[in-house]
Amino acid sequence: MTASSSPALDVALAYHQAWTSHDLEKAMSYVADEIVCEAPAGRLVGAAAYREFMGPFVQILTSSKLIAAFGDQETALVMYDTETLPVKSAPGAECVTVKDGKITHSVFVFDRAPFDAARRDAR
């Protein structure tokens, strides 16, 4: 893990700690109502849409490992690996913008291909 203290990083890591501990409610407490998230499948607008995106992922998460985390006053960048029920190694990266202690914008990068493949295999 690599971390340099910053207000945005503190929020990003608290959010990260919450969802990787399967505490979706606590994770959402760091997400602004008006969040805009650029996710692989398209733009998500608002906390409800974000919750619908994260909820199922948190349910299939079995373990996670922080790879690196950095931030400054308003921006944090976090990369991690996750192990999920369908996909053994599913690394992700998030660049979050934090205002007043909440994540208002996020760019979310992960590879959907192995999840798509697992869904096809399950049919």
Using CB under 8 A as the criterion, which residues of the chain lie in contact with a second copy when the complex forms? 2, 4, 38, 40, 67-72, 75, 77, 79, 81, 91-93, 95, 107, 109-113, 116
Q: Which two tokens mark 111? A: 């590879």
CB of 103 to a second copy, least distance (A): 14
Q: Which CB, 26 or 67, lies closer to a second copy?
A: 67
Q: Which CB, 46 or 91, lies closer to a second copy?
A: 91
Alpha helices, DSSP H only, in 1-123? 7-20, 24-28, 47-60, 113-122
Q: Which CB, 26 or 60, lies closer to a second copy?
A: 60
CB of 25 to a second copy, least distance (A): 27
Neighbour order of strands in the sheet with 61-71: 42-45, 31-39, 102-110, 92-99, 75-84, 61-71
Residue with tokens 């006053």: 73
